[in-house]
Structure 1
Amino acid sequence: MEQLANLLVQQTALSAQREERMVAMIEWLLSPFGGVAASSDHRPATNDAPARLPAAATPAPFLTSSASLRDFAAWKIKFNGYMLLTRANNLPPKEQRAILLSLLDEDWNRVIRYTLQVAKDTPAKEIVMAIEAHLRTQRNVLVDRREFYSWIQEEGETLDDFLCSLKEIASFCDFYQHCFDTQLRDHVVCGARDNEAAKAMLANKDLTLNNAVDVCRASEVARNTRAELRSGAIGKVSAYQRQRSQTREYGATRDINQKCTRCGYRRHTDFTACPAISATCRNCGESGHFQSVCGRFDVDVSDTSTERTT
């Protein structure tokens, strides 16, 4: 076993060395001077370094012509991150354009060539802005605003989920920046389902968006806390009622000086401890009690030693 363990340790060390050599070889191939500059200069890379894919690069984001304006907004964030990680922002505009076109389908390539007024040496950032403007012209802003004004908090929806959806919709409504928070504040007051929070918000004449969110969140926390306390109290009452019902059914009580109505012994704190539970009465033929305590016959309880020891 010791030899096998040593062999496994040696194999693990050799595998780690091979991986290190493979990584070094890949970095040498990707470096602009065949690894000479990387070996002679150990300074950290800066923004002026040439573009190259990192060792653990994420897949490049792809955009199709069926994407909506919201899908494009999510793709835009991923594309900017991709360009930053690969350092493609430092490439010439023509190469940036080539990278962008490779991440678009054929329909988008035709739109860029024949519809958008962009030159061949336009950077990728400006082309993305032109694509976004083209998508906005294809959609009526009133549709987004109608969705914004009709959006209300659903039953069981948390405040954070409601506010997140509301902000996402508002970002496509082309609201002026100085009234963006005011629009959100008004809709939080109108769309929140909590009546107590709505009354507290309406009572504040100088209500801001942050104040409205704080009021709704505090009311939500208080409501959830009351529900948890109420459910816990109901659970305790239900357990107590079940225990009382079992006590009444099986004759279990804390008073140990009284006798059990099933077996004739002293009462049990646990009904499962009664020996008459699985017994059959010889008088009436029913189960669950001894002959000595059967109510159909007048039997002397003192003469029941046989049944009690059963």
Structure 2
Amino acid sequence: MTTFNLPDKLCITGGNLSENWSQFEQALSIYLIASGLDKADDERRIAILLNIIGEDGVKVYNSFRLEKKDLKYEQVIKRFQEYCNPKKNILYTRFMFYQRQQGADEPFDCFLTDLRKLVKECEFKSEDEAIRDRLVLGTSDMDTQKKLIVEGNSELDAVISKFRLAEIGRKHAEEVQGTSSKPIEVGKVLKGKSPRLIRCGWCGQQHEQNLQLCPARGKECTKCKKMNHFASVCRSKFVKTICQNEEHNTNSDEEFYCGSINKMILINKEL
């Protein structure tokens, strides 16, 4: 035996009653068609509606005080529509529509979806024109707005397409610029592992165990005038003693990096 999902009860007391009814009526219509009950007589379809709508919905139905004799299903639906959709304040609904602005970091499609929802209550002669105008005038994308105003009278689909393409272009540009402006970040995502950080004895800062990342590399110490370290970590009186028995070669990357660790250990012990 084939079974069908029953619609949820009509929510009378919570949320937007008009929207709740619209969703309930659609779900009920789908259920009746799917189950083959859409052609049933009026009495049976009314009984199905009242069986599904819930206790609060039945109380609303009883308040209609409809004559049961020769009662039509469409009459009941109409009364629920009138109850759930009271007279609209058009000026207020349009005010809310006109006030809608796109947030600074709000995705374009979220802005568009909300405008499509708001416009349903406004009863404009042309919803497409109203949405188009609000997209252009309420956008946070000033560059695309300027281009569309210069064009003057683009259709809604063209406006949507241009805003979406502009948003995609900005995201791609941010990704490219972010990668090129911070090349040292690439190593942090290799193999999905976090980099090993050290407290560098040459610059006094924390960075990866990589000679190329040391900001002191190629810099002259303002204290001792030697290369490849900062004055803030300069230990010239100790380095001089240590270097008496050791040839100091700054041309070798390996000696510079590995030697720095050994020398700093000796320095720390002497301190």
Whether the TM-score (by the shorter chain) exceeds 0.5 is yes
Q: Which residue of 2 aligns with 1:184?
A: 131
1:181 partner SS: helix
Equivalent in 75, 94, 100 of residue 49 of structure 2: 100
User: Structure 1: any 5+ residue segments left out of the alignment?
Assistant: 1-26, 28-52, 253-260, 287-310
Contact 1:112 1:118 survives alignment (8 Å): no
Equivalent in 86, 96, 107 of residue 35 of structure 2: 86
CA distance in 2, matches of 1:80, 1:246: 74
Q: Which residue of 2 aligns with 1:156?
A: 105
Equivalent in 201, 205, 213 of residue 243 of structure 1: 213
Q: Which residue of 2 aligns with 1:20?
A: none
Equivalent in 156, 174, 177 of residue 227 of structure 1: 174
1:60 partner SS: coil
Aligned length: 221
Q: Which residue of 2 aligns with 1:285?
A: 270
Q: Which residue of 2 aligns with 1:141?
A: 90
The letter for the 2-side match of 1:170 is V
Superposition deviation, residue 246 in structure 1: 6.1
Whether 1:111 and 2:60 are equivalent positions in the alignment is yes
The letter for the 2-side match of 1:182 is E
CA distance in 1, matches of 2:61, 2:144: 50
CA distance in 2, matches of 1:230, 1:161: 26
1:63 partner SS: coil
Q: CA RMSD in A?
A: 3.4
Q: Over alpha carbons, which structure has the higher Rg?
A: 1
1:207 partner SS: coil
Q: Which residue of 2 aligns with 1:131?
A: 80
Deviations 1:12-33 (A, max 9, x none): xxxxxxxxxxxxxxx3xxxxxx
CA distance in 1, matches of 2:265, 2:89: 82
Q: Which residue of 2 aligns with 1:257?
A: none
Superposition deviation, residue 126 in structure 1: 5.4
Superposition deviation, residue 128 in structure 1: 3.2
Worse overlay, 268-277 or 101-110: 268-277
* CA distance 1:232–1:76, shift in 2 (3 Å): farther
**TM-score, reference length from structure 1:** 0.60
Q: Which residue of 1 aligns with 2:72?
A: 122
CA distance in 2, matches of 1:285, 1:271: 21
Contact 1:116 1:130 survives alignment (8 Å): no
CA distance in 2, matches of 1:223, 1:148: 27
Q: Which residue of 2 aligns with 1:194?
A: 141
Whether 1:268 and 2:256 are equivalent positions in the alignment is no
CA distance in 2, matches of 1:234, 1:270: 29
Equivalent in 150, 156, 159 of residue 203 of structure 1: 150
* CA distance 1:233–1:187, shift in 2 (3 Å): same
Deviations 1:231-259 (A, max 9, x none): 1122216679971426459959xxxxxxx
Identical pairs, percent: 16
Superposition deviation, residue 186 in structure 1: 1.0
User: Structure 2: any 5+ residue segments left out of the alignment?
Assistant: 188-206, 220-226, 230-241
CA distance in 1, matches of 2:5, 2:262: 72
Superposition deviation, residue 156 in structure 1: 1.3
2:182 partner SS: helix
The letter for the 1-side match of 2:110 is D
